[in-house]
Chain A
Amino acid sequence: MFKLAIKNIFYYKGRSITTFLLTFFSATLFIIFVSFMHGSHKTMLHNALKVYTGTIQIYQKDYRDEGGYDYLIFDNQKVFNSLEKIKGIKSYTSRVETFGIASSKNNSSAIMLTGVDFKKEAKISELKNALKTGKYNTKSNCLYMGEDLAKKLNISLDHELSFVGSAIDYSFAADIFKLCGTFKTGMYEFDNSSAFLNREYFDGLFYSQNASSYIVINVNDLDKNNYIASQISKSIGKDLKVYTWQDLMKSMVELVKVDSIFGYISMALFFMVIFFVILIYGFINISSRVKEFGVLKSIGLRDIDIDKILIYEILILTLSAIVIAICLGGSIAYYFEINPIVIEGISDMYKDYGIISDTVPTDFDIFTIFWNVSLIFSLNILSLIYPIYYVRTFTPVEAMRHV
């Protein structure tokens, strides 16, 4: 039967070539498409994490629900000591956030003032790279603030502004600051209402020595992030809570999911078309061979033998097409993972999502490729069900009379 199937494939070239090419192209395209989709999602997330969020954050248990100074981490050093013992952490830093009113000569605005360790911060976030004017590493009462915020307050470099808020013992805290640098991250909330101050000066003003709102961590390998998070969780005690980027960036994770679903739906529609073309070609071919099958049946082939011939035919065609598609699509996906495509301006287009580079790498992933092609494979096999049923409805005599 197998030999007969092979001979049929070479004999009925039109159908064979159509089926082969369609399967081949759709599988290749699918692999590349999905790799690009995953790649751009991954880049999007990575970039977003890189901008400011980091991959893990540690909070006092209730801070994220309750907020306020009562739920700060009051012993940074102890947490740092624990972190030092855990493998796979690339960098970490602490941040203290406070809210208050900033006023220039002309305008006032509610702002979030964050005390950061500028040196450590540079290893965690993109704050340094987002520098627009002035300096990043500001000293004493120098502020580093969002470009839009500076505009809102209508001040430029070296101008003064006042800030009124409360220290962490709830005492009144106010000071005069100087604008020493502005940044733009592309994230509106951030550029529009955030300012940064070096830790030493901040601590002096707000009495926040060795305390923090939260601690940010970056890991070396994002795939191990959850494992590292659980390690940290074990080592830092019950009062503190560890959040991974999936917890922190829920909306973006959702966004990516929705986008993937749309991607798959459009691919699915595309496959439907391919599927029907293969089905129709297969059916036309097979119905033109009904007479031949009738002869085979009358000289002693069982229905199941005929089924086998048809199944072997599609198996050979589909498998060979898919194997080649995996090789080709896979190597294209792999190539572009190593040499990402550069699309000028894409970072502008997606700046709201925190994309900060123009490169779009693919995500080469054997598992994804595997289940993608199994899908195509199953569709092809599925396209045989009706023709097989159709051929079975004929008795040998009817089949031989069939024209």
Chain B
Amino acid sequence: MIKLKDVQKYFYKGEEREVHALKNINLEIEKGEFSVLTGASGCGKTTLLNAIGVLDQISSGSIELEGKEIAHLNSDEKTKIRLNDMGFVFQAYNLVPVLNVRDNIAFIMRLQGYSEDRIKTRVLEIAQLLEIDNKLDSLPSLLSGGQQQRVAVARAVASKPKIILADEPTANLDSKNSQSLMDMMKELNEKEGVTILFASHDEYVVKSVNRIIKLDDGALV
């Protein structure tokens, strides 16, 4: 479903402090996969995930989503792809602070123009699965870290994107919360068939996934 060809990424290209963050990456992610990008801190996991999520410009190479080149689109087209085809979960939860849980989960669906009826059922369905259905009216700041991260996951999956990109989703969680988040995401993957790609070196993540992609100093191993 996603195909990376010869992807290179430099930061500060041509300057003395140049970083060659991604080195000739060739990678394919299949539909329905539940996999993790792993490797030491600073090896390029986030950079690769951002490249796939068209959040950041790559220096050369190509990225295809279902056969369509997406790495070199203009910024509005990229925004559209992120909105419609991708779901993001970040280390720092990154919920919209002024919106309650319900509106946070519904946020992307609203942007996509779903009917309020559909939004309502879908929000409830996903909130039950992630066990946050009793918090729907709270503001994010009143929730624990584990709960906030589940809201972030709910927001990402609610609109049924083609792939979910999760960057260190468990890094701020204790082991119990990490384990239950992974269990729920696994359940989502199995029940809804959603493709999920993690970037993490957390053992809870690594042992839960079906495929491990190892990165070392910007290159696949």
Question: How many A residues touch B, CB cutoff 8 Å?
Answer: 20
* Distance from A391 Cβ to chain B, minimum over Cβ atoms (Å): 14
- 1/0 contact string of B75-119 vs chain A (CB within 8 Å): 110011011100010100010111100000001100100000000
Secondary structure at chain A's binding surface: helix, strand, loop or mixed? Answer: helix
Whether the Cβ atoms of B111 and A300 lie closer than 8 Å is: yes
Whether the Cβ atoms of A292 and B96 lie closer than 8 Å is: yes
Question: How many B residues touch A, CB cutoff 8 Å?
Answer: 24
Secondary structure at chain B's binding surface: helix, strand, loop or mixed? Answer: helix
Whether the Cβ atoms of B98 and A298 lie closer than 8 Å is: no
Task: Tell me if A11 counts as interface (CB < 8 A to partner B).
Answer: yes
CA distance A7 to B82 in the complex (A): 24
* Distance from A232 Cβ to chain B, minimum over Cβ atoms (Å): 67
CA distance A137 to B46 in the complex (A): 101
Point out the residues of chain B lying under 8 angstroms from A297, CB to CB: 79
CA distance A299 to B105 in the complex (A): 12
Task: Tell me if A395 counts as interface (CB < 8 A to partner B).
Answer: yes
Whether the Cβ atoms of B83 and A8 lie closer than 8 Å is: no
Most chain A beta carbons < 10 A, residue from B56, B57, B94: B94
Point out the residues of chain A lying under 8 angstroms from B99, CB to CB: 4, 7
* Distance from A192 Cβ to chain B, minimum over Cβ atoms (Å): 73
Whether the Cβ atoms of A8 and B98 lie closer than 8 Å is: yes
- 28 A-B interface contacts by CB (under 8 A): A4-B98, A7-B98, A7-B99, A8-B98, A291-B94, A292-B96, A295-B94, A295-B96, A297-B79, A298-B53, A298-B82, A299-B88, A299-B108, A299-B155, A299-B156, A300-B79, A300-B80, A300-B83, A300-B84, A300-B111, A301-B79, A301-B111, A303-B75, A395-B55, A395-B57, A397-B50, A397-B56, A400-B90
Chain B residues within CB distance 8 Å of chain A: 50, 53, 55-57, 75-76, 79-80, 82-84, 88, 90, 94, 96-99, 107-108, 111, 155-156
The 9 A-B pairs at the shortest CB distance, nearest first, are namely A300-B83, A7-B98, A11-B98, A295-B94, A397-B56, A300-B82, A302-B79, A396-B55, A397-B55
